[in-house]
Amino acid sequence: MKKYQLTVTTREGTGRSASRRLRKAEKIPAILYGKHTKPETLAVNAPEFVKLLKEIAGRAALVELKRDGGPSALSFLQEIQRDPITDRYLHVDLQEVKENEKMIISVTVRVTGEAYGVKTEGGVLDTQTKRLRIRTLPKDLPEFIEVNVTELKMGEAIHVGSLKAPAGVELLDNPGQPVVLCVAPPEEEVVAVATPAAGEGAPAAAGAEGAAAPAAGAAAPAAGDAKAGAPAPAKDAKAAAPAAGAKPAAPAKK
């Protein structure tokens, strides 16, 4: 098992103000927990820590902590806090381990091979469990847990209980917990557009317009009142107008 190294210094002061001062100085607040020792507050050089993470690349790894003038300690990264907006590292939790004592650690799942259900049946892989908890001695710590999916068919799953753990490693998760599944690809959703039947569109529009306009009887006079609203009949028009050919009356003499 490869060991990585990280330089740490004792951190004086706790709280937000002290942590902000450390981050301004390009250092990350950290704490080291130990089974046989009290928690110890530390500070980690930020550029060195970023370089370490790139080297580890998500694998399970042991980190040897180097102190200036003090004893070294063997540990692993327990938790890393990061600002979701600025992406800066805010805090690091380290778990101290002993060479002759078993430890419990979470290890990444690595899928290998091409599933039969994907290659032949058109299925897709669904990784349900991305990390597994294991118990092991530091010397037997695997970088990842390998899961071979070559024989996996459509509708089948690989569970924790069917995995073969590396030598010296004990899997702690529920044996019935699914790790990888081969499932049918999701169906494309078809959105149906409703089309009105022939002749339905026009009446609907007419009905809408009729609802907005006043009723026919209210807008126009009743049938019995039509004559009152209409012009006088033709015979009345003759009475009102001078007779055809009649001479206009002469003006009265003064």
Q: Determine the pLDDT at residue 22.
A: 82
Other residues' Cβ atoms within 10 Å of the Cβ of residue 33: 14
Q: Determine the pLDDT at residue 167.
A: 95
What's the predicted TM-score (pTM) here? 0.68
Tokens of 243: 């007779």
Q: How far apart are CA 46 and CA 61, in angstroms?
A: 19
C-alpha distances (whole Å) from 96 to each of 45, 65, 184 are 19, 9, 44
- Residue 184, pLDDT > 60, answer yes
Count, residues in the chain: 254
Q: Determine the pLDDT at residue 50.
A: 95
Q: Give the pLDDT mean for 205-217.
A: 45
Q: Give the pLDDT mean for 195-224.
A: 49
Q: Which of 166, 178, 158 is nearest to 116 (CA)?
A: 158
CATH class name, domain 3-98: mainly beta
Tokens of 241: 């107008």
The CATH H-level (homologous superfamily) assignment of domain 104-183 is Ribosomal protein L25, C-terminal domain (2.170.120.20)
**Is the separation of the CB atoms in 39 and 96 below 8 Å?**
no
Q: Determine the pLDDT at residue 197.
A: 62
For the chain, the structural domain boundaries read 3-98, 104-183
41-63 confidence digits (pLDDT tens): 999 999 999 999 999 998 999 99
